[in-house]
Amino acid sequence: MADSTIVLVTGANSGIGYEAIKILLQSERKYTILLGGRDEGKINSAVETLKKEYSSSHSTLEALHIDLASDESITKAKDTVEDKYGRLDSLVNNAGVSMDATVLAGKLTLREAWAMNWDINVTGTHIATQTFLPLLLKSKDPRIVFNTSGMSSLARCSDPNSPWVKYPEAGLPKPFSTMGYMSSKTGLNMVMVQWARVLKNDGVKVWAVSPGFLATNLGGRPELLKQMGAGDPSQGGRALVGCVEGERDGEVGRVVNGFEEGVQDW
């Protein structure tokens, strides 16, 4: 696989990760693409569908089972990539969850929902990065991309003139909030900043991408998001691929916007 770029996209059987893989498959560049996910049935089905749709692609596509809630699964996925390819060129940390609504539905307690938001979006993503790092350091052009959120911006979420900031009436109950998800993505931004610092002298390029308000399965209600004006997930996929293909090399170490030029305020 010396003549192809090896890319792993986690959480890629649907949504933004799936769209990123579609874009990679249409590229004139040659990729070995690993479609990562925790549900083996779903990732195998996604790979089968994409292979049929892009049968003339210059690139190859394979499923890779990886569950960010399991250290054993992450290590096994790394061992699989190492045994088969010996290196990894780009790690796209796309997998994530939004569990706040499960509290309203009575499916999880507040503590359980917050813990899951942080375990997948921050801890599991960090552990995956740490685990795959030896393979990335064997690449001639190693890249790490973290999929964050516009709601991770402290500047945006504290600006009283922002449409994102609303002050509810005094008293209880307070309206539903995705505070757990938002804070976990802010935490993920710090993870990105620290990896960018730690790996600067190793030549590893690191970013986070703020893909925009998109109608994905995150939270389990894509149709509702569409009604609220959410865009197509392909927009976020294009932003992730832009980091892989070098379009955002001038913005290493920042949160780059997927919906417009430039970077997101911290």
90 to 118, 137, 207, 217, 244: CA distances (angstroms): 23, 10, 11, 24, 7
- Considering the candidates 57, 59, 90, 149, report the single residue annotated as catalytic: 149
| 3-class state of residue 77 by DSSP | helix
Angle formed at CA 11 by CA 8 and CA 12, multiple of 5 degrees = 70
* DSSP H or E stretch at residue 208: strand 205-210
183 annotated active-site: no
- Considering the candidates 181, 183, 205, 210, report the single residue annotated as catalytic: 181
162 annotated active-site: no
185 annotated active-site: yes
- Considering the candidates 152, 185, 205, 210, report the single residue annotated as catalytic: 185
Tokens of 119: 């375990």
Distance separating alpha carbons of residues 266 and 199, to the nearest angstrom = 21
Angle formed at CA 96 by CA 187 and CA 218, multiple of 5 degrees = 120
45 to 14, 24, 87, 206: CA distances (angstroms): 11, 18, 26, 30
Which residues have C-beta within 8 Å of that of residue 11, sequence separation ≥ 6? Answer: 17, 36, 37, 68, 94, 95, 96
Tokens 């620290």 locate to 194
Distance separating alpha carbons of residues 259 and 252, to the nearest angstrom = 17
Distance of CA 239 to the CA centre of its chain: 11
Residues labelled catalytic: 149, 181, 185
